[in-house]
Amino acid sequence: MSIDRRVFLKIAGITTAFGLGGSTLINGLKKRGLEASELPFAGKQGGLTAKRWGMVVDMSRFRNEHDIQRVIDACHNIHNVPFFKNPKHEVKWIWTDTFNHTFPGMESEFMMEGLEEMPFLMLCNHCKEPACVRVCPTQATFKRKDGIVMMDMHRCIGCRFCMAACPFGARSFNWRDPRGKDEDGRPFIRKLNPEYPTRMKGVVEKCTFCTERLAKGLQPACAEKSNGGLVFGDLEDPDSELREILRTRYTVRRKQELGTQPSVYYVIGGNDDV
């Protein structure tokens, strides 16, 4: 009776294969600008609001693995993010990588001691000009008025255009059913949060800056557990703590040259305190 997204896709695929609607589809994709995806949304009650949410990652506050793992767990536990051993199946909302992978092109011959071994925290950059939003054929990913690049799981058809478009690797595809178990019988989701949905096989997911927490007046889970290492705030508010840091410390963004205008900034130097 009812058809799910995969059945729909199969039918749609067959139809396209017969050459029906193929060109219409391409024209439709061409015409869609970013603006079409920026939907209006109503005022909130008691939630945190901003003109454009952003974040500073202060690497000097992440001294050891525990500092980093605490922040990752805070996010992955409340959002039911599954853990897959096979790196090809990895699903991640916030993760780490080396300096050279985080800031390619910024590495040099003689670098600050320890920098290359240091794990850098990464999450969705919630770009001002998000490439993922441009390519999404169903507007499953869209930019909210407050700058958050949001995922609507109900519309995701799993085409992975957004993954190809995102230069930051911030998106993960569910190759396997996240509710399943590994060979040892351990569930992929280590700790279930019954208040938040899981995802299913065949959809793409990523960080949402904790929209469900902002609505309740709470900071994103990672920022809350970061002991000041992740500062969340309004980039457009000159009086925000975030802007104070950006005014007083030297910060960089990932892959600036691509022009997507990331909203996540990094303080890299380690010796001076805020």
Would you tell me which residues interact with ligand HEC (CB under 6 A)?
2, 153-154, 197, 199-200, 203, 211-212
Q: Count of CB atoms within 10 A of residue 216's CB?
A: 12
Q: Which helix (H) or strand (E) holds 141?
A: strand 141-143
DSSP 60: G
Among 95, 142, 161, 168, binds other proteins (CB under 8 A): 142
Instruction: Report the alpha-carbon distance of residue 52 to residue 39 in Å, rounded.
Output: 15
Residue 158 found at the interface with other proteins (CB under 8 A):
no
Residue 232 found at the interface with other proteins (CB under 8 A):
no
Residue 36 found at the interface with other proteins (CB under 8 A):
no
Partner residues linked to 96 by β-bridges: 121
| Binding partner at 273 among ligand HEC, other proteins, none, C-beta below 5 to 8 Å by kind | none
Q: Count of CB atoms within 10 A of residue 267's CB?
A: 21
Q: How far is CA 41 from the centre of its chain?
A: 21
Residue 245 found at the interface with other proteins (CB under 8 A):
no
| Binding partner at 152 among other proteins, ligand HEC, none, C-beta below 5 to 8 Å by kind | other proteins
Among 150, 207, 230, 231, binds other proteins (CB under 8 A): 150
Among 12, 47, 165, 237, binds other proteins (CB under 8 A): 47
| 69 SS3 class | helix
Among 28, 36, 41, 256, binds other proteins (CB under 8 A): 41
Instruction: Dig out the tokens for 239 from the structure.
Output: 């009086």
